[in-house]
Structures are given as structure tokens and as C-alpha cells.
Amino acid sequence: MKSAKPSREPPKRTRIDPDEGAFLEQYRAEAYARPSVTVDLVILTVLDHDLKVLLVQRSEHPFKNRWALPGGFVRVSDDRNDQGEDLDAAALRELEEETGLSQAACGKFFLEQVRAFGKPGRDPRMRVISVAYYALVRPGLVPLIRPGGDVSHTRWFSVGELGDKHGLAFDHEEILKATLDRARADLDRTSIAFELVAETFTIQELRAVHEAIRGETLDPGNFRKKFLRMIEDGLIELARGKRATASKPAHVYRFARGDAASV
Amino acid sequence: MKSAKPSREPPKRTRIDPDEGAFLEQYRAEAYARPSVTVDLVILTVLDHDLKVLLVQRSEHPFKNRWALPGGFVRVSDDRNDQGEDLDAAALRELEEETGLSQAACGKFFLEQVRAFGKPGRDPRMRVISVAYYALVRPGLVPLIRPGGDVSHTRWFSVGELGDKHGLAFDHEEILKATLDRARADLDRTSIAFELVAETFTIQELRAVHEAIRGETLDPGNFRKKFLRMIEDGLIELARGKRATASKPAHVYRFARGDAASV
DNA sequence: GCAAAAGTGTTTAATTTACACCCATGC
DNA sequence: GCATGGGTGTAAATTAAACACTTTTGC
């Protein structure tokens, strides 16, 4: 639309009035066929050193009984005063519906768009373009999750043991892969790791998150050095208390909201 | 959609037949309102040390006379045997239409999705969700460009001098910013810099591309060292010939298609 | 006491950053 | 010859990688 040159504008059945108001009134919104648009959610957490993704089992065709990413339609309208919900809002709504958690109660969720997936045929029913989002849920919240619909059809899967056994519905395999790539790239460019630990955490707990996402073990000594550098940069600060472990109790730290960054 | 649990499925007016074929037949594709979906293109090149973006001036409302990213509708259909074109294909089609260049003649274009933009109200006519792509055009191809429609309404803008003066149409300002962030991040993670130089290039030419995208000058000596490391890694190889300059002729190199990477 | 994990240190290599400098060429 | 930019070298600071070692706790 937007930049469409005359030759590519939707066929118009009436002359365009130069006045914009009138133009909008008589614009043929129905001139082009439209796809359905959905959001699909890659909800991730880390449980006992393992990166997990939340899947739901489909109860209807197509892909009946297969596991799929949770998702749903974006609510839209052509009403000029209310065109419906934002993509981000749709993703948040789905996340809350799907987990029973509310952002109001749990604090801001990490929820970011990955990209759009729209291959023809990805949904046999109709043309569907899906905007994928990825969400990070702190392990502490996991037990509080009350799946929106049928409890028995919602489950956490280790991303490691997935991929081989279960063929996911639609192109969700591809969406999941793209999202994991994105998460791994974000890991050492952003602060997403802190979204997967509790309010306070030990060095090893943060390391476990890095290891789970990258899928490999990291040298504890070297990781500590990176950690100490983050403290120097004011990104992390020591918190009160200690965490009991299998051996010597560990210091706990807190993520210092990016504000205290500079000198 | 896909994972929609019964409560969130579109209202069905008839009972579902357990057989999938029959299910598809009577599926109510029109149950949810649908948005229009477009692709918007951020077409970039580097001309005389400057990062440029190709914009078109709108000839119609809304945003009449404002500059905008080129773009157009994605062609879709619910026909089960042909649901229309892929998002990537739509972006490529628009790119070819908009520039008059054909991938068949010019070799593969760099064209990658950025993400979807779908804020309500971004297009006052109707609810539009736009999938942004960014394309990189080698400077050598720029003179060959024959804008699709009205020549006088297509122009390269320096991204530097933009942003202040011209208010772009729709949310294209935001799309452009997000794309530039993406390009800068890709610069030292991928090989996009090679998409903006000729087949063979000098060290300084490649440096000029890096400088244009990052918006800052780089130390020639240090850049050379990074460059030599790329040669060691087999990413780049010396080509025959020299490039005449204002002083001493420079060696020219070639991008060695990532295959010769390892030992 | 002993295992287990916390925490510390060392060494080597690679990379980044900031410079100074030499040299070949066109004019 | 001399300015221009190609090309080279050096030194300090930071970071990454591999790995040995000490300390503190629970049991």
C-alpha cells in the first residue's frame, strides 16, 4: 500500500477526491485479498539446567494431536477510530491467556518479536501470516502457570530432546529454530540472561542460564571473570544474604537496572 | 490460530467432521477480521562514502507528497492449491518493480526480513500490517536503476541528512531506524559489507562501506589488520589487477564465497 | 575427613586501540 | 619534489581460553 504508485493501487471504481477526508471515506479497502494474521509464541524458560519451550497439543485439524507453539489471531478492524490491537499487545494477551500469568501481578514479561513467517501453504485451511514472538519466563513463575485451556495438553519440552522425536505442527519447527538462533545471539548482546533467573541469583545460577541457552558448558573461573566485569560496569550488584548449595554457600547478586551504568 | 484451543477457535456454525478433508472444506475462513498485509522495502546503497536509502514520493493520500519507503501488497489467496506468493517473494517482486533491476540479470540481491510493523492507526485507511525488508544494492548497479513508476518521484536520500528535515509517511521513520540498527548489528556478524562493493574491491573501499554504515571513521591501519585476518580465514582473496587512486595504486581483492572457510 | 562446589590465580594468545612512520605514485 | 594515500610497525590495554589451585561448607 503506502508507496504504491498509481499502477499498483487497488482498482478504484470512482474518481479520487483531492480532499483527504473524502478520500478515506470512499477508499476501497476490500480491493486486495487479505491473509489471516496470527501471533505465535515461543515461551522459554530454564528448568534444572535445561532450556524448555512451552507447547500445546492440538485438539483439532489440521495437525490434530501434534504439538504446536501457542498462538492466536490478532484482533483487527478497519474502524478508523479503533483498528484493533497492536501486534505486541496481541502477543502479550496470548501469553497471559496461555499461562494464566498476568503482567500486572508478575512484573514486566520479556516479550520481543522475532519476525514474520508467511510461506504459502503453512496452514492448509487458509493463507496465514504469523508474527513470531519469544517470551522468557523466570523459573520461579513456572509453578504458578495455569494453562488457559486444557491442562493435559500443555507441556514444557526440552529444546534439546525435541526436533528429532516430535514433528511440530505447521512450520513451528522453523520458527523455533529461528528463535533459538535469535536468543543465542541476544545472549551476549543484551541482558536477556537476567530474565531467566530469580530477583537475586548466584554466579553459577546465571552461568547455568548461559549454558542452557548456548547448549554447552562454560568454564566457571572464566565466567566469574566476565561476571566481575559486569559488576565493575555497574550492571550487577551484590545483594544481601547467601544461597545454600551442596557445599559452600554462595553470594547472591542483583541485576542493577541499567541506569547506574556510567561514571 | 494454529494452537487455538476450542474456546478461541472461530465460531463454527456447523459440527466438525472428524475427517480432515471435510474439515477443511467447511472451515469458516472468514470468521476473523483480517488486516491488509504489505511489504515495505528499505533499499540501501553506499554512494561517495554515504549511506543512502531509496524513497518514493507519494502522489496520493494519505501522506500525499511525503516521502515513503517503497512497498506494496502481498498477493494472497485462500485457494488451497495456491495461497499466493511468499513474503520473501513479494519483497523481491517489489524490489525488482521499484528499481527495474532483475535478479536474473544482476545476480542474487541481498534481501532480508527485518520484522513486522503493525501498530493500529499506522495507515488511516485501514488496518495494515507491514513486513519490512532491507535490501543492499551495489553502487555499480545504481546507475542502471529505472524506477518503476514516476521517475521524478524516486530519489536516494542520505540517511544522515534525513530524519530531521523530512517527516516520512506512515511509521516509516521507525522502520528505517530499526533497519539501520539491524544493519549495523549485521555488519560485524555477517558479510553484508561485501554486498555494497563491486566484484573486486580495495581495502579502503571496504572500509568506506563500514564507515558509512557505522557513521564514523575507522583507523586505516587497524582496519587493514582486521582485513588481513579475513584473508587468513579464507574469507577474502587477492584478485588480479590494481585500482588507480589519487596516489599509489591499490591492490584489489575478491570475496571468497564462504566455502573455503576451514582448514 | 572428605566430597563438592565456591572462589582465586596464572599463563598464553588473540584482539582492540591509538599512534608513528615509511614508500610509491601522479602531478 | 611533494602531497596523497597505500602500506607497515609498535606498544599498551583488554579480552578470551585453558587450567591449576585454595577455601569453605555439609555430611
- Write the pLDDT tens digit of every residue in B77-91: 999 999 999 999 999
Residue B6 CB partners (closer than 8 Å, separation 6+): A59, A60, A149
Return the pLDDT at B141: 96
Interface check for B30 against chain A (CB to CB < 8 A): the answer is no
Nucleotide closest to B243 measured between CA and C1': D6
Question: Cβ of A3 and B72 within 8 Å?
Answer: yes
How confident is the model over A112-166, as pLDDT tens digits? 999 999 999 999 999 999 999 999 999 999 999 988 766 668 999 999 888 666 7
Question: Cβ of A75 and B9 within 8 Å?
Answer: no
Task: Look up residue B99 and give its three cell numbers.
Answer: 528499481
Task: Answer for B202: CB within 7 Å of strand D.
Answer: yes
Residue B59 CB partners (closer than 8 Å, separation 6+): A5, A6, B65, B150, B153
Q: Are A185 and B189 in contact (CB under 8 A)?
A: yes
How confident is the model over A6-36, as pLDDT tens digits? 444 444 444 444 455 555 544 554 578 999 9
Closest residue, CA to C1' of C14: B229
Interface check for B180 against chain A (CB to CB < 8 A): the answer is no
Cα separations in angstroms, A186 against A214, A237, B93, B221, B229 = 11, 22, 31, 31, 25
Question: Cβ of B3 and A82 within 8 Å?
Answer: no
Interface subset of B 41-80, CB within 8 angstroms of A: 56, 58-64, 68-78, 80
Q: A156 in helix, strand or coil?
A: strand
Closest residue, CA to C1' of C4: A247
Question: Cβ of B125 and A59 within 8 Å?
Answer: no
Q: Are A176 and A168 in contact (CB under 8 A)?
A: yes
Q: Are A133 and A114 in contact (CB under 8 A)?
A: yes
Return the pLDDT at A13: 45
Alpha-carbon gap, residue B215 to B221, rounded angstroms: 18
Look at strands A110-117 and A250-255 and give their pairing. Answer: unpaired
Which residues put CB within 7 Å of chain C, the nucleic strand? A 202-204, 220-222, 224, 245-251; B 219, 221-222, 225-226, 229, 244, 247-249
Task: Look up residue B66 and give its three cell numbers.
Answer: 511525503
Local confidence pLDDT in tens for the 263 residues of chain B: 444 444 444 444 444 444 555 555 445 545 789 999 999 999 999 998 999 999 999 998 899 999 999 999 999 999 999 999 999 999 999 999 999 999 999 999 999 999 999 999 999 999 999 999 999 999 999 999 988 766 668 999 999 888 666 789 999 999 999 999 999 999 999 999 999 999 999 999 999 999 999 999 999 999 999 999 999 999 999 999 999 988 899 999 999 865 544 43
Alpha-carbon gap, residue B256 to B134, rounded angstroms: 23
Query: Between the CA of B114 and the C1' of C17, what is the distance in angstroms?
Result: 32
Widest pairwise Cα distance in chain B? 81
